[in-house]
């Protein structure tokens, strides 16, 4: 169970790092474009706006992918925990049944001995 939680946390950290890198890279690229653009301000602003829209779309796609991956991992962990709980419950019931079968003759012998002593 701890292994799955650790994997889920690592995936979330990796996604967060990726998104932060994507955002910083986009901003750095836009800034460099502003400083090095050998064209008119109007054309530069249009390009920056277009790049901003592209960056927003890429970030949205990356976020959707990340949410899908994290949801899938969470579902796997939940399913695994439910399955493990079911297995443990069945093992517990099997142990109880085993002990009943084991001690039932002893209890019956005790009852018979008590009844015999009272008669």
> What pLDDT, on a 0 to 100 scale, did the predictor assign at position 70?
85
> What pLDDT, on a 0 to 100 scale, did the predictor assign at position 1?
53
**b/e 56-95 (16+ beta carbons within 10 angstroms → b):** eeeeeeeeeebeeeeeebeeebeeeeeeeeeeeeeeeeee
Which residues span the domain enclosing 86? 2-118
> What pLDDT, on a 0 to 100 scale, did the predictor assign at position 91?
92
Question: What is the C-alpha separation between 27 and 36, in angstroms, rounded?
Answer: 14
> What pLDDT, on a 0 to 100 scale, did the predictor assign at position 83?
92
Pick out the chain residues at pLDDT < 70: 1-13, 33-35, 37-39, 119
> What pLDDT, on a 0 to 100 scale, did the predictor assign at position 86?
93
> What pLDDT, on a 0 to 100 scale, did the predictor assign at position 29?
77
In this predicted model, what pLDDT tens digit does every residue of 6-30 receive, in sequence order? 665 666 667 777 777 777 777 777 7
Model confidence, pTM: 0.45
Count the domains in the chain. 1
């Amino acid at each position: 169970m701890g292994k799955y939680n650790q994997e889920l946390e690592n995936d979330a950290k990796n996604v967060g790092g990726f998104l932060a890198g994507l955002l910083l890279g986009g901003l750095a690229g836009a800034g460099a474009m502003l400083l090095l653009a050998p064209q008119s301000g109007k054309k530069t602003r249009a390009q920056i706006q277009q790049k901003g829209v592209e960056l927003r779309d890429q970030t949205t796609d990356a976020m959707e992918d990340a949410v899908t991956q994290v949801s899938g991992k969470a579902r796997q962990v939940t399913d695994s925990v439910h399955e493990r709980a079911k297995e443990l419950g069945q093992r517990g019931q099997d142990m109880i049944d085993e002990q009943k079968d084991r001690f039932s003759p002893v209890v019956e012998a005790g009852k018979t001995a008590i009844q015999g002593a009272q008669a």
